Structure 1
Amino acid sequence: MVKRLAASSKGSMLDLEREQRTRAQQKQKKTELMQAIDQARVGKIRPYVKFQWPAVQLDEWQWDILESLFDPTIRRVFVKGNTGCGKGAAAGIACCIYFHIWSDAKIIITRDSMKMAQKIAFGEVDKWWREMAIKPPGALQISGVYDNKQHSITLANPQHIEGFRGAHSPHVLFWFDEATAPNLEDKYKLANTQAKKFLALSNPSTLSGAFRDAFPIVEPDKTQTILDQYGKTRCITVSGWECTNVKEKCLEQPVAPVGGVEIAGTFYPHGTPIEKMHFDQCHPKIPGQTCYDEFMALLHDSDPLIRNVYALGKFPDQDPDKQVILPEWLVEPIRFWRRWNQLWLRASQGNHPLARKLLNGILPVEGFGLDVAASRYGDTSVLAVGGRYGIRAIHECQFSDTQQTMWWVLETALDYGIDLKQGAVPIAIDWGGGYGNAVGDPLKKLNVHVIEVHGNATSDLDSQKYANKRAELYGEAGRRLDPAGDFRMIPFGIPDNDRLKAELIAPAKIYSGHDGEKYYITPKGRRGADENFMGKTLREMLGRSPDRADAVVYCLCALRDQGRRRLIVA
């Protein structure tokens, strides 16, 4: 009996000691957590992450995302990177932390579709929430987390604007996943009016839009902090080479990748099976992150778009889905014009009239395009001279009044042996802004064949494809230059002018129809632009008006009109 009482007393003492030890540990953990929260609030995020996910392994660029997002001086973080690098994992961790450290945090997550926002983006939040050592207050639900009206994580449907309004709180975080999606473009502005913090992730597959505009024009693929109208914005670029699984040459399949791989002193050429004992040493260090063999396959793809965008996280040189005229389309036209120009200079300097006559037949003058500047200050008036086989030259001037511009046009045409007053050769003039008609109306009185170009008018060529005349002008210019298009067997020359080239490739398609076919193009400036347009105008992108490109597409418009007139006469 005495022994049983002694044993019972001893057991109670052990239970009491165990309970006291547990309470002390819990108190210690709570103290550590509060200290970690306090540090996280001022941007020192690593202690909190190590406390909540002690086994987590993150790349330095993932730490950069977290530290930048919680830096009190940085409001927005934009991240572009290679496929499968782990951008979403960092974002999921960030949402869990932000929700925990601020009792009034409102986190809004969106993506290209509600289904994908729930499955992919919120899936990352769900995963990291479940692995937290001490979970925040609130109920984890299928598509969000709810604690109270002032403390929640919700999804915003990109099809409706309502989810991007009314998020009023000192701590609002918007996360845009796959942030280059076209249906998110008009949501950026609303989100930025409410966000205390803003996070946007994407593969950099576009040359235009709000996501691209957040990165600097100079060195957009360099990780850096910039200053914009919102304050400080952190722009992060992730290359596959920066991923742990790639650096450590971890493999997804037991087959040697492109370029081969060396494991434990044994080299396996591309395509050869890898022995199990060696493959076991190559398992991914970070689950779910792209591996060395996957990365090397992308890096050696024949398409430069795949290599640069999906392997190296760089913005593309061109965007076939959005650009009206691709840079590569100008390579042969410029080369063709250079050859012609060299021959013309030699013929002119050597005074060879027969050679000049022959070269005139290669690049004949059959039409003109004129973009009229407002005054002698700022932009220039530009006259494009060309024919069916290309643009012969572009001329620029700045005069104090439109009468001087008119006589300059007539004199320049005479230099090419063309008397515009005979009315045989057309000139297309931009009638918008009130400047073109100041030159065009007097020319009409002199019997010049003037074609009025109204950029906002309905397309008379293909109203199902072009939302207005300006889209038609650039769209048809692109059709003429496309080396795989209808005119692929007919050469065409474009002057070797860097400014002209930059202006031709700058306009992007802005789709207006539900069928994804009908489009406008990037507006020249804020004046006359649609009030819903959120991106940069051509003037903002180029630092000037695209006068040279406009003159060229007007010239092509004049040539098409001339072609139609000939058909009617015939």
Structure 2
Amino acid sequence: MKSTDNHQILFCERLQRDRAQAEQGTDLQSAINLARTGQIRNYVQIQWPEVQLDDWQWDILESLFDPTIRRVFVKGNTGCGKGAAAGIACCAYFHIWDDAKIIITRDSLRMAQKIAFGEVDKWWRLMKIKPPGQLLTSGIYDHKQHSISLANPKHIEGFRGAHSPHVLFWFDEATAPNLEDKYKLANTQAKKFLALSNPSTLSGSFRDAFPSVEADRTQTIVDQYGKTRCITVSGWECTNVREKCLEQPVAPLGGIEISDNFYPHGTSIPAEHFIQCTPRIPGQTCYDEFMSLLNDPDPLIRNVYALGKFPDQDPEKQVILPEWLVEPVRFWTRWNRLWHRATDNRHVKASKLLNQILPVEGFGLDVAASRFGDTSVLAAGGRYGIRAIHECQFSDTQQTMEWVLETAFSYGIDLKQGFAPIAIDWGGGYGNAVGDPLKKRNVHVIEIHGNSRSDFDSQKYANKRAELYGEAGRRLDPAGDFRMIPFGLPDNERLRAELIAPQKIYSGHDGAKYYITPKGRRGADENYQGKTLRETLGRSPDRADAVVYCLYALRDQSRRRLIVA
């Protein structure tokens, strides 16, 4: 009798289990069908019922599964949980499409395996109902048309041949320089593209994916690839920060209130109160960590690593930082009224005083071809800064030459006496058309050949053009060798944009020597994949070029005087 009862009990339990599995399978298939239309929440809640996600993490998942959105770019603060959302997305994408090919890459293959695929491994193991496929140390394999694999950023093979209706590329730490040339290859293969990074760059494919205006606002844009979802995550949007969870039992900056008790910064928090502040989402950055970043004296740390914003400047890449131009423009503006009195009203005393404060001792000329719409630019300046930027556009080089002589004479300088130098770009083929006739008139012309070897510091500068901008930066650096000597720059927004646009492109193995961003495709290295200055600015950097040529003319003149002395 007992044996019969036991069999009945086992039979009923098996029946209930089979029925539950059948119902669960029905629910899962329904969730998969919804996920294919972009409604991913039911699927995630079935597979990871205990997971807690922030609204922006749901945004990543829903955008990635939205059939109308091809690419998703995410930038955010340190430790917000971008990788967790990506790990869940990869597991879900692999399950809902039986022909899914997922390729994961990062700045190095080792870090891709350890960090990015580590997230996939973690969420795969936590899935309630696992899809077919074998979990390996560096991927998941079901069959040739259904797999998750890693791509080595050192080679391009991993970014080719991924032919399938459902190919997903995940670029982690997507601002890495060695991934730049992989973007185009991946985009030719990808049906879905996911890129994550801290926004610590001013240029490159990751930055270019975000709009130039309101780049720090979450939005969907339309670009050459279709719809791209651009998501920005601030530390304030993280659950652990919003609910003031703490990593350590010590009051953070600004203090904290727990159960009507206020703890000033640095004081210990007793266990009975600290337990109320434990992290809600394991592994996500906490309030105390966030506050330390938010109060860092470096604005780069505050904006990039705490608030997820693109920086205003990048000390690692920019040759001339925007903050270096603040005081020179202020110095120039301080004497702007005097400048107007000297030039407009022919005020003799004002002219003499201005010549002492901002003397004109040399010139820099960028000669443009009128048929391309550019203007010729002449920078006039001396040891204490650039007095003025002059522009003209004539139909022939003879007129340009006469304009140069007349403009110099307006400062009391007769270039034909051969004392004041003028540096002219010889590389474009137009500078010599003005420079050679000036030489015949005894003008002290200095030829600029941008691609020639640096004769100042060939260990630092890969060519002359890098030297010109690098030494201009050294003159402008408020903490550099010339910090005690004032310097003025015209309050010209175009000039400012052009001066800060060039970035360092390191060459060689020592990481010290660099080129700078090329002006245009003509003459640029064929391996260069980034935007040229003309593409970034929408014009040639003629004003900035004229300024650095002028500074070079002054340096060259100083060296000649030292040699003669």
Deviates more, 1:97-106 or 1:14-23: 14-23
1:9-32 per-position Cα deviation (integer Å, ceiling 9, x unaligned):
333232222222211211111111
In the other structure, the counterpart of 2:449 is: 454
State percent identity of aligned pairs: 82
Aligned pairs for 1:264-413 within 5 A:
264-346=259-341, 352-375=347-370, 378-413=373-408
In the other structure, the counterpart of 2:97 is: 102
Of 522, 525, 533, 2:528 maps to 533
Question: Does residue 231 of structure 2 align to residue 236 of structure 1?
Answer: yes
1:224-272 per-position Cα deviation (integer Å, ceiling 9, x unaligned):
1111111111111100000011111111111111111111222222122
Question: Does residue 79 of structure 2 align to residue 78 of structure 1?
Answer: no
Question: Does residue 194 of structure 2 align to residue 214 of structure 1?
Answer: no
Aligned pairs for 1:487-502 within 5 A:
487-502=482-497
Aligned pairs for 1:36-115 within 5 A:
36-115=31-110
In the other structure, the counterpart of 1:261 is: 256
Q: 1:193 to 1:531 in 2, by over 3 A?
A: farther
Q: Please give the alpha-carbon distance, in whole angstroms, between the structure 2 residues aligned to 1:441 and 1:209.
A: 39
SS at match of 2:217: coil
Asked if the contact 1:374/1:435 (under 8 Å) is kept, the reply is: yes
In the other structure, the counterpart of 2:467 is: 472
Displacement of 1:330 in angstroms is 0.8
SS at match of 2:229: strand
> Structure 2: 5+ residue runs without aligned partners?
none
RMSD between superposed Cα atoms in Å = 1.5
Q: Please give the alpha-carbon distance, in whole angstroms, between the structure 1 residues aligned to 2:409 and 2:343.
A: 17
Asked if the contact 1:100/1:136 (under 8 Å) is kept, the reply is: yes
Of 538, 544, 547, 2:542 maps to 547
1:519-556 per-position Cα deviation (integer Å, ceiling 9, x unaligned):
11112222222222222221222222111111101111
Asked if the contact 1:213/1:536 (under 8 Å) is kept, the reply is: no
Question: Does residue 431 of structure 2 align to residue 431 of structure 1?
Answer: no
1:161-206 per-position Cα deviation (integer Å, ceiling 9, x unaligned):
2222222222211111111112222221221121111111111111
Q: Please give the alpha-carbon distance, in whole angstroms, between the structure 1 residues aligned to 2:166 and 2:15.
A: 38
Asked if the contact 1:254/1:274 (under 8 Å) is kept, the reply is: yes
Q: Please give the alpha-carbon distance, in whole angstroms, between the structure 2 residues aligned to 1:163 and 1:66.
A: 25
Q: Please give the alpha-carbon distance, in whole angstroms, between the structure 2 residues aligned to 1:349 and 1:33.
A: 80
Asked if the contact 2:341/2:350 (under 8 Å) is kept, the reply is: no
TM-score normalised per structure 2: 0.97
Of 198, 203, 225, 1:203 maps to 198
Q: Please give the alpha-carbon distance, in whole angstroms, between the structure 2 residues aligned to 1:327 and 1:348.
A: 29
Displacement of 1:353 in angstroms is 2.5
Displacement of 1:348 in angstroms is 5.8
Q: Please give the alpha-carbon distance, in whole angstroms, between the structure 1 residues aligned to 2:404 and 2:347.
A: 27
Asked if the contact 2:362/2:550 (under 8 Å) is kept, the reply is: yes
SS at match of 1:432: coil
Q: Please give the alpha-carbon distance, in whole angstroms, between the structure 1 residues aligned to 2:417 and 2:357.
A: 23
Of 124, 129, 152, 1:129 maps to 124
SS at match of 2:53: coil
Q: Please give the alpha-carbon distance, in whole angstroms, between the structure 1 residues aligned to 2:555 and 2:234.
A: 46
1:285-304 per-position Cα deviation (integer Å, ceiling 9, x unaligned):
10000111111111111111
Q: Please give the alpha-carbon distance, in whole angstroms, between the structure 2 residues aligned to 1:519 and 1:227.
A: 35
SS at match of 1:96: helix
Asked if the contact 2:100/2:145 (under 8 Å) is kept, the reply is: yes
Q: 1:492 to 1:77 in 2, by over 3 A?
A: same
Q: Please give the alpha-carbon distance, in whole angstroms, between the structure 1 residues aligned to 2:447 and 2:558.
A: 16
Task: Name the aligned partner's letter for residue 440 of structure 2.
Answer: K
SS at match of 1:434: coil
Asked if the contact 1:376/1:401 (under 8 Å) is kept, the reply is: no
Aligned residues: 565
TM-score normalised per structure 1: 0.96
Task: Name the aligned partner's letter for residue 105 of structure 2.
Answer: T
Task: Name the aligned partner's letter for residue 157 of structure 1.
Answer: N
Asked if the contact 1:109/1:175 (under 8 Å) is kept, the reply is: yes
